[in-house]
C-alpha cells in the first residue's frame, strides 16, 4: 500500500511556473532607508512611516523564535528584496486594463478573474508579489457600503480607518515576524463592513509570489461593525525556485457587536521538491478580536503547501457571548514541516470556542498541532471543545500534538481530545472488495477524515480543497 501512497503524493506542483512580467524591484537588503523609500513609493501618510520605523527598530531588538517544532535555515534578511511590483502603472479601474501577462498567470492558476466575476459573484482582490493588481466588483460592493480594496488604496482613501485599526489586534511588538511585517509590509487587502451590512458576496484574495528572492509581506485588515457579516477567502501560490522564499503576513480581524467574520484560507505555496530543496517559509500571524457582544470569528484553513509553516490563527473573545472557531486541515508530505494550530483567549462571559484540527503527515514530513485555550478569571461560563486528530501515511513521518490549556475560572469548561491513527488495512479492504480502487479509496477516506473542516468552507473552496488534497495524494497508494 505504502508505495502506491507515495506515488499519489509525488504529484508535481501545478502552480510552479514563473511568469515573465516586467517587475520593478528594490535591491535586496533592509535598513531604515529602504523603509523610507518603500513608504515614499506608496505615498504613505506620516503615521504609517512612523509605524513602520517603530516596528523596524523594535524588530532589530528581537530574536528569531525557535520554540516551534520545525528546523530550517534561518532566512538572511539582507538577501531579501522588500519591494517587487509589476511595472505597469497606474492602478486599473477595470480588469481590461490589467497586463494580459498577469491575467494569464491567474488563468493558469485556475482563477480566471473575468470568469469569477461573471459566474461566481465573488469579488476578487489579486495580489501579485507585493502589489494588488486588480480588485473586481468594486462598484457593486460600494453600493452596499462595503469597502474592499488593496491595503495601499485604503491608506490613500481611508487613512483614518487604517490609523485606528492597524496594529490594534497584532501590535508590531507581538512577535519577530509580525514586527518585520509591520516594518516592510507591501500591500494586502482591506475590508470594512459598515453597521448592519451583510456583505452581498464573498470576498476573495489571491496571493502570488512571482519574483525570486522576494519576500511577501502582505497585511490584511478586516473590520466588521455592529450586525455586519462578511465571508473572506484567501488563496496562495508561488513558482518553483530552489531557494527558500519568505512569506510573513499579518492578518487582523475586528468584529463588533453581533458581527460575524468568516475567514477561509487555502494555502498552496510551493512546498519545495522531494528532497526538501526550496519552498516557501510561511510564518504568518493571524488574529481576530471579538470586540463586541455576540460577535463571532471563524477561521477555516486548508494548509497543503509551504516548506515550513508556522501559523496560529487566533481569537480573542472579549465580548460577552462571543464565539471563536478554528477548523483546520494540514497536509504535509516529503520534507514539509508544519507547526500550526490556534489560540483561543476567553475574556468575556459565556464565550465559546471550538477547535477542530486534522493533520495528515506523509513522506518524511513533520506535522504539529500547537494550541492554547486560555480561560481568564473573567470568563464566567466559558466553554471550549477541542478535537485534534492526526493521520500518518507511511512510517517515516511524524505527528505531534502540543495543546496548552490554562484555566483560571472554575465555571469554565474545557474539553480536549486528540488521537493518532493511520488508514487501516481493513478500511481499504472494504473499499476494494466493493470495486473501488485504492487511490479513490484513500482519497475518500481522507475526505471523510477532513469532513468536519470541509463542511465549513464556502462551496467553491470546498471543491478546490478536496481536489487539492486529491492531487497532493495522487499515485501514493500501493
Instruction: Name the minimum Å distance from CB 422 to other proteins.
Output: 4
Instruction: Name the minimum Å distance from CB 456 to other proteins.
Output: 23
Cell 471579538 belongs to 290
Name the grid cell of 471: 492531487
Q: Is-contact 438 429, C-beta < 8 A?
A: no
Instruction: Name the minimum Å distance from CB 383 to other proteins.
Output: 9
Q: Is-contact 295 259, C-beta < 8 A?
A: yes
**Per-residue DSSP letter, 95:** G
Closest CA to 175 of 31, 59, 316, 315: 59
List phi, psi (to 5°) of 452.
-60, -30
Closest CB to other proteins among residues 393, 469:
393
Determine if 416 is a binding residue for other proteins (CB under 8 A): yes
What is 226-240 written as a DSSP string? TT-EEEEEEEEE---
Instruction: Name the minimum Å distance from CB 455 to other proteins.
Output: 23
Instruction: Name the minimum Å distance from CB 375 to other proteins.
Output: 8
What residues contact residue 176 under an 8 Å CB cut-off, 6+ apart? 59, 62, 63, 64, 65
Return contacts of 37-43, CB within 8 angstroms, 24+ apart. Answer: 37/83, 38/82, 38/83, 38/184, 38/186, 41/83, 42/152, 42/155, 43/156
Closest CB to other proteins among residues 168, 378:
378
Instruction: Name the minimum Å distance from CB 140 to other proteins.
Output: 47
Instruction: Name the minimum Å distance from CB 100 to other proteins.
Output: 48
Footprint of other proteins on 376-415 (CB under 8 A):
377, 390, 392-415
Closest CB to other proteins among residues 76, 406:
406
Determine if 336 is a binding residue for other proteins (CB under 8 A): no
Determine if 445 is a binding residue for other proteins (CB under 8 A): no
Q: How far is CA 63 from CA 58, 74, 81, 178, 311, in A?
A: 10, 11, 21, 12, 18
Closest CB to other proteins among residues 226, 389:
389
Determine if 330 is a binding residue for other proteins (CB under 8 A): no
Instruction: Name the minimum Å distance from CB 32 to other proteins.
Output: 30
What residues contact residue 132 under an 8 Å CB cut-off, 6+ apart? 125, 126, 149, 150, 151, 152, 153, 187, 188, 189
How buried is residue 176: exposed, middle or buried, by Cβ count under 10 Å (0-12/13-18/19+)? middle
Closest CB to other proteins among residues 307, 414:
414
Instruction: Name the minimum Å distance from CB 315 to other proteins.
Output: 18
Q: Is-contact 431 229, C-beta < 8 A?
A: no
Pick the piece of the chain touching other proteins (CB under 8 A) from 177-185, 312-320, 417-425, 456-464.
417-425
Cell 493533520 belongs to 359
Closest CB to other proteins among residues 24, 415:
415
Determine if 12 is a binding residue for other proteins (CB under 8 A): no
Instruction: Name the minimum Å distance from CB 75 to other proteins.
Output: 23
The three-state secondary structure class of 376 is coil
Closest CB to other proteins among residues 372, 444:
372
Name the grid cell of 126: 489579486
Instruction: Name the minimum Å distance from CB 316 to other proteins.
Output: 19
Q: Can you say whether the dihedral through the CA atoms of 149, 150, 155, 161 is positive or negative?
A: positive
Instruction: Name the minimum Å distance from CB 386 to other proteins.
Output: 9
What is 395-414 written as a DSSP string? SS-EEEEEEEEEE--TT-EE
Task: Report the length, in residues, of the chain.
Answer: 478
Q: How far is CA 365 from CA 91, 246, 330, in A?
A: 42, 19, 11
Determine if 300 is a binding residue for other proteins (CB under 8 A): no
CA distance linking residue 453 with residue 300, whole number of Å: 7
Closest CB to other proteins among residues 47, 430:
430
Binding mask 60-99 for other proteins (x = CB under 8 A): -------x--------------------------------
Closest CB to other proteins among residues 267, 476:
476
Binding mask 356-375 for other proteins (x = CB under 8 A): -------------------x
Closest CB to other proteins among residues 354, 409:
409
Closest CB to other proteins among residues 239, 403:
403
Footprint of other proteins on 257-296 (CB under 8 A):
none
* Count of residues interacting with other proteins (CB under 8 A): 35
Footprint of other proteins on 420-439 (CB under 8 A):
420-422
CA distance linking residue 60 with residue 443, whole number of Å: 46
Q: Can you say whether the dihedral through the CA atoms of 33, 37, 39, 44 is positive or negative?
A: positive
CA distance linking residue 424 with residue 196, whole number of Å: 50
Closest CB to other proteins among residues 46, 66:
66
Determine if 355 is a binding residue for other proteins (CB under 8 A): no
Pick the piece of the chain touching other proteins (CB under 8 A) from 71-79, 234-242, 336-344, 419-427.
419-427
Judged by the rule CB under 8 A, the positions of this chain that interact with other proteins are 67, 375, 377, 390, 392-422
Amino acid at each position: 500500500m505504502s508505495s502506491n501512497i507515495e506515488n499519489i503524493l509525488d504529484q508535481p506542483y501545478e502552480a510552479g511556473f514563473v511568469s515573465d512580467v516586467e517587475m520593478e524591484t528594490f535591491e535586496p537588503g533592509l535598513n531604515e532607508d529602504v523603509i523610507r523609500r518603500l513608504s515614499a513609493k506608496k505615498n504613505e501618510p506620516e503615521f504609517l512611516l512612523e509605524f513602520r520605523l517603530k516596528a523596524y527598530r523594535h524588530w532589530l531588538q528581537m530574536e528569531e523564535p525557535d520554540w516551534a517544532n520545525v528546523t530550517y535555515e534561518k532566512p538572511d534578511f539582507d538577501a531579501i528584496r522588500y519591494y517587487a511590483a509589476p511595472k505597469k502603472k497606474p492602478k486599473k479601474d477595470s480588469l481590461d486594463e490589467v497586463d494580459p501577462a498577469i491575467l494569464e498567470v491567474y488563468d493558469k492558476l485556475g482563477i480566471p478573474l473575468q470568469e469569477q466575476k461573471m459566474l461566481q459573484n465573488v469579488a476578487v482582490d489579486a495580489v501579485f508579489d507585493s502589489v494588488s493588481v486588480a480588485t473586481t466588483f468594486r462598484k457593486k460592493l460600494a453600493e452596499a457600503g462595503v469597502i474592499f480594496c488593496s491595503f495601499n488604496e485604503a491608506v490613500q482613501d481611508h487613512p483614518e480607518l487604517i490609523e485606528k485599526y492597524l496594529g490594534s489586534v497584532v501590535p508590531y511588538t507581538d512577535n519577530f515576524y509580525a514586527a518585520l511585517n509591520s516594518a516592510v509590509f507591501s500591500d494586502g487587502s482591506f475590508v470594512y463592513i459598515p453597521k448592519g451590512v451583510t456583505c452581498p458576496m464573498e470576498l476573495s484574495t489571491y496571493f502570488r509570489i512571482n519574483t525570486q528572492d522576494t519576500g511577501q509581506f502582505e497585511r490584511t485588515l478586516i473590520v466588521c461593525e455592529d450586525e455586519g457579516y462578511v465571508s473572506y477567502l484567501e488563496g496562495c501560490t508561488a513558482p518553483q525556485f530552489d531557494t527558500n522564499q519568505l512569506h510573513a503576513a499579518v492578518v487582523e480581524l475586528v468584529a463588533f457587536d453581533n458581527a460575524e467574520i468568516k475567514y477561509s484560507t487555502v494555502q498552496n505555496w510551493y512546498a519545495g521538491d522531494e528532497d526538501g530543496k526550496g519552498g516557501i517559509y510561511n510564518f504568518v500571524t493571524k488574529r481576530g478580536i471579538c470586540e463586541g457582544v455576540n460577535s463571532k470569528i471563524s477561521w477555516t484553513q486548508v494548509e497543503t503547501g509551504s516548506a515550513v509553516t508556522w501559523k496560529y490563527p487566533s481569537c480573542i473573545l472579549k465580548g460577552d457571548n462571543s464565539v471563536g472557531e478554528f477548523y483546520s486541515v494540514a497536509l504535509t508530505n516529503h520534507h514539509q514541516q508544519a507547526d500550526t494550530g490556534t489560540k483561543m483567549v476567553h475574556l468575556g462571559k459565556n464565550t465559546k470556542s471550538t477547535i477542530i484540527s486534522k493533520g495528515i503527515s506523509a513522506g518524511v514530513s513533520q506535522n504539529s498541532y500547537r494550541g492554547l485555550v486560555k480561560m481568564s478569571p473573567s470568563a464566567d461560563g466559558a466553554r471550549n471543545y477541542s478535537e485534534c486528530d492526526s493521520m500518518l501515511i507511511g512510517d517515516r513521518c511524524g505527528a505531534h500534538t502540543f495543546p496548552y490549556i490554562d484555566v483560571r475560572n472554575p465555571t469554565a469548561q474545557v474539553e480536549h481530545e486528540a488521537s493518532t491513527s493511520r488508514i487501516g488495512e481493513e478500511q481499504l479492504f472494504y473499499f476494494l472488495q466493493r470495486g473501488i480502487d485504492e487511490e479513490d479509496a484513500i482519497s475518500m477516506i481522507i475526505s471523510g477524515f477532513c469532513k468536519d473542516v470541509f463542511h465549513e468552507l464556502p462551496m467553491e473552496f470546498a471543491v478546490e480543497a478536496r481536489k487539492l488534497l486529491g492531487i497532493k495524494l495522487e499515485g501514493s497508494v500501493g
